[in-house]
Chain A
Amino acid sequence: MAGQGGCCEIQRLPEECLCQAISMTTPRDACTSEAVSASFRAAATSDDVWRRFLPPDYAEILSRAVDPVESDSMKQLYSNLCDPILIDGGKMSFCVDRETGGKCFMVPARELYIVWGETPHYWTWRHHPESRFMRDYTAVDEIVWDKLIS
């Protein structure tokens, strides 16, 4: 199959067809496709493609963001969401996995129900300076993992 077809025959495809084909690859493939040619770049950067890479409910999740996420295009929105944002009043953070577009939620330790979590013998709460959550504390000391319930 390689090397068949006349020179630049793929250029005769309507852009929407090329967009659909690229949207069926991965975010990484869409980025490398940009470097193929001007027409590939136009298709690979289109909102149609990157909207399909985003989670289907991205708009609903964005409505829960603590701070609005400004973006000029779907591709830029995707890139912005690869860095975590706070949602639900800061109770959770959300980001998108760059390779797959999968949803990643991070829950602060305080939101977890931990059996014996209030028992100082097993758990103490300490503030972590790099925590993204306003009131997050890291649980340390002896941990009984099979009792950890989220």
Chain B
Amino acid sequence: MAAVTETESVEKKKNRLMNSSEEEVAVEKPPVINPMSEDDSAGAAIPVGNSLSDQVMAAAISETGETEESEKKNLRLMSSDGKEVVVEAAVAMKSQLIRQMIEADCAGGSDVINIPNVTAAALSLIFRYCEKHLVDGDGDKAITDDLKSFDEDFISVDLDTLYDLLMGSNYLDVKGLLDLACQKVADLIKGKSPDEIRRIFNIEKDFSPEEEEEVNKENKWAFE
């Protein structure tokens, strides 16, 4: 069972602070899962095997109540730029890709999961979103409003970061974040002329005059 060392806790906090662009919002801690301890004081009858999958699944689905901070299960991910990112299992499994990899035990016996398409910076940001969204609004207006406010601030980023979030959430299959990022791009497109859209996204026009005329003719009503 991997314990969270003091260094790792500090490291996690550092990552969060480095990527935080606004005041830290008090986040309700996710349910802290207690993998089975030797004296079975937690009372759960969930067998913990040796594979990463067994350990993480036990950690993710156990409801044995509170435990010490140091006993939360962490995952280690290797980013596309060769950096190791440590994240709580419950947070990481908001990614359907990671969840499926864990369930299918695709770590291949290793404790490190390779994420070849996403940088460490993007991973940290994505997991920050996931951690915040561990708490489901589910009819509670105060939580829903808080999440909405968080999302608005979270997605107010430069275009490069927006693309990283979009591609990262698409690859990792984090639906809520993908929808949020796509909506941001959509809001940049809405009500704009083609020239304005090109200016915003720094796109070069690659139509011939004939192609452009064909497009305008097909969509005449939209340009009226």
Contact = CB atoms under 8 A, between A and B. Distances in A.
Interface of A: 1-14, 16-18, 20-22, 24-29, 31-38, 40-41, 98
Contact of B222 (A3, A6, A28, A40): A28
A24 B183 contact: yes
Which DSSP category, helix, strand, loop or mixed, fits chain B's interface?
A: helix
Interface stretch (B6-14, B28-36, B97-105, B198-206): B198-206
Given A18-B185, A25-B186, A36-B205, 17 more contacts: A1-B158, A4-B160, A6-B160, A8-B204, A9-B201, A10-B159, A14-B170, A21-B182, A22-B186, A24-B182, A34-B215, A34-B219, A35-B194, A36-B197, A37-B203, A37-B204, A40-B203
Contact of B192 (A5, A18, A32): A32
A95 to B, nearest CB: 14
A2 B206 contact: no
Contact of A29 (B182, B191, B205): B191
A16 B170 contact: yes
B163 A10 contact: yes
Contact of A21 (B185, B202, B218): B185
Interface of B: 158-160, 163, 166-167, 170, 178-179, 182-183, 185-186, 188-194, 197-207, 212, 215-216, 218-219, 221-223
A92 B174 CA distance: 43
Contacts, number: 116
Residue among B163, B170, B183, B192 having the largest count of chain A Cβ atoms under 10 Å: B163
Given A7-B202, A25-B189, A17 B170 contact: yes
A103 to B, nearest CB: 19
A36 B185 CA distance: 14
A6 B201 CA distance: 8
Given A14-B167, A31-B222, A34-B215, A8 B203 contact: yes
A25 B223 CA distance: 16
Contacts of B199: 2-3
B158 A4 contact: yes
B200 A3 contact: yes
A53 B134 CA distance: 31
Given A2-B200, A25-B190, A37 B207 contact: yes
A18 to B, nearest CB: 8
Contacts of A13: 163, 166-167
A24 B181 CA distance: 11
B194 A33 contact: yes
A146 B218 CA distance: 44
Nearest to A27: B222
Nearest 5 pairs between A and B by C-beta?
A5-B159, A31-B222, A24-B186, A31-B219, A21-B185
Contacts of B218: 34
Contacts of B194: 32-33, 35-36
B178 A20 contact: yes
A17 B171 CA distance: 11
